[in-house]
Structure 1
Amino acid sequence: MNTTPAHDARMASMTFASVYPHYLAKVEKKGRTKEELHQVIAWLTGFDEAQLQSLINEKATFADFFERANLNPNAQFITGTICGYRIEEIENPVTRQVRYLDKLVDELAKGKKMEKILRTV
């Protein structure tokens, strides 16, 4: 199942600020912390706390967010299904990167060990 151009455009135009509170609520509801969420985001994107806050404040779209990111080279090892899409089969780069982030947040919320989430083991 591949994404449509309309789906890709919608993903690219969504703001990180609109999704971030949902990520935070999801992980905190499962007993994880904001710091752990930020560690996961930093691993994927290279953004520190100040950069994340700046992106939230300016309501950066996911297209802008990932254009500025220094994507971790091990991100390619994030595989599996998220929201009905097999991540490794998504052709649009921005959509794939958003799904990488979604998958990492899911793994964090499901209680996976940080070493596994960050693909260090």
Structure 2
Amino acid sequence: MPRKSIGEYEISQIYPLYIEKVEKKGQTKEDLDRVIKWLTGHDDAGLARQIESSVTLETFFDEAPQIHENADQVKGVICGIRVEEIEDPLVRNIRRLDKLVDELARGKALDKILR
């Protein structure tokens, strides 16, 4: 069976893992949602709809109202690759989200995460 590309995973599969990660480190689901909404421009209803609809990560980002204008300031290494050097826009946005979730889980202040 061929492996899924990163964009084929459903947000409904990934979101609970993000919640688990941040809550294990003492952060909240509300803070996670705030980070996701900052990056994607989704509002509460839009984020909930995307998760409930089990859209793929590709669709999740394609339907994002507005990738934040400061998203290019999300830098660093995820899975051994520098986020800012990823050429594929979808993969770059997925890894930006991963980086933001990591920063939240590490206890970085929200005002610093939300650049």
Two-structure CA RMSD over aligned residues (Å): 1.4
Q: Look up the match of 1:3.
A: none
TM-score, normalised with respect to structure 2: 0.93
Distance 1:10 1:84 in 2: 18
> Which of 72, 90, 95 is the matching residue for 1:99?
95
Letter matched to residue 88 of structure 2: N
Letter matched to residue 69 of structure 2: P
Relative to its length, the structure with more helix (as a share) is 1
Letter matched to residue 56 of structure 1: I
TM-score, normalised with respect to structure 1: 0.89
Number of corresponding residues: 113
Measured after TM superposition, the shift of residue 11 of structure 1 is 1.1
Distance 1:39 1:52 in 2: 10
* Correspondence 1:1-121 to 2 at 5 A: 10-69=5-64, 70-119=66-115
Measured after TM superposition, the shift of residue 41 of structure 1 is 0.6
Alignment partner of 1:47: what SS? coil
Flag structure 2 segments of 5+ consecutive residues without an equivalent: none
Letter matched to residue 113 of structure 1: A
User: Which 4+ runs in 1 deviate beyond 4 A?
Assistant: none
Distance 2:35 2:52 in 1: 20
Identity of aligned residues (%): 50
